[in-house]
Amino acid sequence: MRQKTFLERLQEAPESAKRKTTVLVSAIVMVAVIFVWLTYFNNLLRDTKSQPVPEIQGSESFTFFHTMQNGLAVILDSFVSGIRGIGNVFVGGRSSTVTPEH
């Protein structure tokens, strides 16, 4: 006879146990999503502070075309840094040392 899986046991559990399990699993998933979201914003802000602001050319060349070109450069720069920030969330490893107490 095989052992029942977690989901099979949950299906047979009373409604109150199902509700408690749903609340617990939802809370864990919400904490994980918020952690990833905050980590993403942390990396995004760090990348934004480190990038220089593009300089505008002299006032004699300040035309509509140059304005659009500079705006597109800023938007593209922001998009690329956002993609890097998302990548840093998944690639950037965090390490911690656990030492046993004696």
83-102 pLDDT, tens per residue?
877 776 666 566 666 777 76
Q: Give me 15's structure tokens.
A: 């409604």
pLDDT of 59 reads 52
Query: In this structure, are residues 44 and 85 in contact, taking their beta carbons and an 8 Å threshold?
Result: yes
Query: In this structure, are residues 43 and 23 in contact, taking their beta carbons and an 8 Å threshold?
Result: no
Intra-chain end-to-end CA distance of the chain, in Å: 43
pLDDT of 20 reads 94
pLDDT of 62 reads 61
85, exposed or middle or buried, with CB in 10 Å at 0-12, 13-18, 19+? buried
pLDDT of 17 reads 92
Domain boundaries, the chain: 6-53+62-91
In the predicted model, residues of the chain with pLDDT beneath 70 are 47-62, 88-97, 102
